[in-house]
Amino acid sequence: MAYQFTEVDKLREALCESLETVDRCQEDISSQDVLTRIEKVIERIVIDVSKGEAPVLRLINRSCWNNVRFQESVGLVLKDDVSPKYLHCGKPTSATKFALILKILSVIYKLVQSDSYSTKRDIYYNDPQLFGSQRMLDSIVDDISCMLKVPRRSLHILATSKGFISGDLCYLEEDGTKVDCNSSSTAVSVSSNVNGIRNIVSSAKFILIVEKDATFQRLLDDDFCARLSPCIIITGKGVPDVNSRLMASRLCASTSTAQWYRVPDEALIPFAKADERKISSLRSRSYITCQPTWEREVETMQNLKRKAEIQCLASIAPHFLTRVYLPNKLRYGGWI
């Protein structure tokens, strides 16, 4: 079956020749470093209290795109000169969140110190009345990650994965459990601790990243992975969670980079107002402006004011997407 991937192999060789040698990922912050950073936060609070002053936490404004830059080897990273926001213990509007941050810092410290892990969901259900909502806890964990300037996975708090993966892939979980994704009819949940997986074995020629779960299930039902073996398909079921993005990144050695597929004109639909606002926002983001090909595609979409839903292809014929469109794209090229 290798003959059908001639164009994919050519693309990979061309891309590998043009890529600069970069570190594909940054080393995790050491456990001791995480503990030290937490201790410094608590030390500043103790000093403020000893002076009779109301403690203040300096947080990163996560809603501001000006606080991040795109680094090719790792993706989005915080700038050195970020605009902060301050959380005052003495103000009624922020006192509750201030206390919750200290509570989670305590949980993180114990987890890191004992080299154990917990999910955000487990922490929330230990005291749901305290946190009020899962969203509040999630926001606090992200605030702490930015405040300490460490990857979220280094806090030993895991997110429950929502993504699925299937295809030519086997690996071991951190606890030694073997995971085999080779079933053609079912998918495997993406690991909750992607950073801990090891012994990855795959001969996949490409990874197909599928946005929507319905399309992913259609590919599974039509034995897509068996028909175009060896390959891997993965979905984050809409907006991808951190674990799904990490898994795709870990598997990048199966494929050099993401590619754009041209979509037939008849599959295009007009923009809604929300689409126009979103694409204007995208054009100013650093991970788009530093990629000329991506920037041209976004600019073209903005000028056309049209988008494509991949489900539209199913209206041509029930198996058009899985047996005609995608296989021909992969066999004969046609990407950007």
Contact of 85 with 147, CB cutoff 8 Å: no
Q: What angle do CA 238, 274, 78 make, to 5 degrees?
A: 65
Contact of 169 with 195, CB cutoff 8 Å: no
What token pair was written down for 311?
A: 């489900």
What token pair was written down for 36?
A: 């030290």
Q: Which of 86, 109, 125, 332 is catalytic?
A: 125
SS3 content of the chain, % helix, strand, coil (to 5): 50, 15, 35
Measured CA to CA, the distance from residue 243 to residue 329 in angstroms comes to 28
Q: Which of 191, 290, 288, 298 is nearest to 244 (CA)?
A: 191
Burial of 71 (0-12, 13-18, 19+ CB in 10 A): middle
Backbone angles phi, psi at 160, to 5 degrees: -65, 125
Contact of 152 with 178, CB cutoff 8 Å: no
Residue 125 bears catalytic tag: yes
Contact of 150 with 179, CB cutoff 8 Å: no
Contact of 211 with 238, CB cutoff 8 Å: yes
H-helix or E-strand spanning residue 124? helix 120-126
Q: Is 207 helix (H, G, I), strand (E, B) or coil?
A: strand
Point out the residues that are catalytic: 125
